[in-house]
């Protein structure tokens, strides 16, 4: 009789990599149960809002013959903004002048409820150069987020972790040491890094321009275990600036959750849906600035989107 066994619970060279105990364990919690219905409602509302969306010249932050930067509103899909730009350019063309329409490409994407800067290129060549610039971290991005949680003990901090999701699962934070390991479904844990700067607590603080942001090289968290979050402590309104080095899906939202300062309205990642008697239709995260070398001229560019009302209201308290 053969000693061979097909028991899948006993690791072999064929099945060792498939056994559950060998998969990385996420260090952030699963989606809250309440988030499913709220997210569905928000998606339906965004679809309706997006279908009616139109853009105007005041939404353009920058335009030249190669690039366009526009300010995307909260609750509208990127594709709808892109289509609105295409229509706006077509409608704005001078009558009687025949010219080939530009080869528009979306250079960066924002989540449905994230507002702020979207880049659109006007040719394949420029699109390819910008894709490479984003991939090689030669584009500096800053975001503003309004969070609810306990006051951080840091003024600046950088967090490094893994990022991934199992098949059909939610995005989660993983240990930095898990980067490169395979998850159920075949995807791989990837690295992500975000630097944060504390701007204000309950409206009190000093707002600095994004160009002044410098990360604190001496205050770095390398994630290897679950964060200790205390839910029964007093919560405050915390305005932060985030500068993601990588560009993973929901990166800033996940890292805010890990730090115990989930973004207000971000029900996927434990952000409060209701705060001080008011409910929120989306998370309060804004793509504030982009800086990089112009892909054609080589000149330095810095684009900055106008702040949304929720950020302006906080800053007016200062």
Q: What is the CA radius of gyration of the chain?
A: 22
Q: Using 50, 70 and 90 to split pLDDT, how confident is the model at 8?
A: very low
What are 265-278's pLDDT values in tens digits?
A: 999 999 999 999 99
Instruction: Please indicate, yes or no, if residue 15 is contained in any of the structural domains.
Output: no
Strand runs labelled E in the chain: 60-63, 67-72, 105-106, 115-121, 140-149, 156-164, 172-174, 190-201, 204-205, 220-222, 236-244, 274-275, 278-279, 285-293, 300-304
Instruction: Please indicate, yes or no, if residue 183 is contained in any of the structural domains.
Output: yes
pLDDT at 5 over 80: no
What is the tally of structural domains in the chain?
1
Instruction: Please indicate, yes or no, if residue 231 is contained in any of the structural domains.
Output: yes
What are 176-220's pLDDT values in tens digits?
A: 999 999 999 899 999 999 999 999 999 888 778 887 778 778 899
Q: Could you give the CA distance from residue 267 to residue 275 in angstroms, rounded to a whole number?
A: 12
pLDDT at 94 over 80: no
Q: Using 50, 70 and 90 to split pLDDT, how confident is the model at 18?
A: very low
Q: What is the pLDDT of residue 177?
A: 97
pLDDT at 128 over 50: yes
- Tell me the pTM: 0.88
Residues whose CB falls within 8 Å of the CB of residue 116, separated by 6 or more in sequence, listed in order: 71, 72, 110, 143, 286, 287, 288, 305
Instruction: Please indicate, yes or no, if residue 191 is contained in any of the structural domains.
Output: yes
Provide the domain limits for residue 157: 140-283
Number of neighbours of residue 25 by Cβ within 10 angstroms = 11
Could you give the residue numbers annotated as active site? 111
What are 19-38's pLDDT values in tens digits?
A: 455 899 999 999 999 999 99
């Amino acid at each position: 009789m053969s000693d061979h066994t097909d028991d899948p619970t006993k690791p072999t060279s064929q099945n060792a990599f498939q056994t559950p105990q060998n998969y990385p364990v996420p260090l952030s919690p699963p989606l809250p149960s309440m988030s499913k219905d709220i997210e569905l409602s928000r998606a339906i509302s965004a679809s309706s809002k997006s279908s009616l969306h139109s853009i105007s010249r005041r939404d353009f932050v920058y335009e030249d013959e190669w690039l366009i930067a526009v300010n995307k509103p909260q609750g509208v899909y990127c594709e709808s903004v892109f289509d609105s730009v295409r229509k706006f350019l077509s409608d704005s063309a001078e009558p009687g002048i025949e010219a080939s329409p530009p080869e528009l490409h979306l250079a960066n994407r924002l989540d449905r409820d994230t507002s702020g800067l979207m880049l659109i290129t006007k040719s394949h060549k420029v699109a390819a150069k910008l894709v490479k610039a984003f991939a090689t971290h030669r584009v500096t991005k800053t975001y503003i987020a309004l969070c609810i949680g306990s006051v951080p003990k840091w003024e600046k901090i950088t967090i490094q972790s893994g990022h991934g999701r199992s098949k059909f699962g939610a995005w989660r934070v993983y240990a930095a040491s898990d980067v490169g390991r395979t998850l159920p479904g075949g995807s791989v844990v990837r690295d992500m890094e975000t630097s944060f700067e504390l701007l204000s607590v309950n409206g009190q603080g000093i707002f600095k321009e994004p160009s002044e942001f410098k990360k604190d090289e001496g205050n770095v968290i390398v994630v290897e275990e679950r964060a200790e979050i205390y839910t029964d402590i007093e919560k405050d309104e915390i305005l932060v600036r985030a500068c993601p080095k990588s560009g993973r899906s929901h990166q800033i939202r996940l890292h805010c959750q890990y730090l115990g300062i989930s973004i207000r309205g971000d029900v996927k990642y434990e952000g409060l849906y209701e705060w001080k008697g008011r409910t929120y239709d989306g998370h309060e995260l804004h793509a504030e600035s982009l800086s990089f070398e112009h892909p054609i001229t080589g000149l330095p560019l810095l684009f900055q989107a106008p702040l949304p009302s929720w950020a302006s209201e906080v800053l007016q308290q200062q």
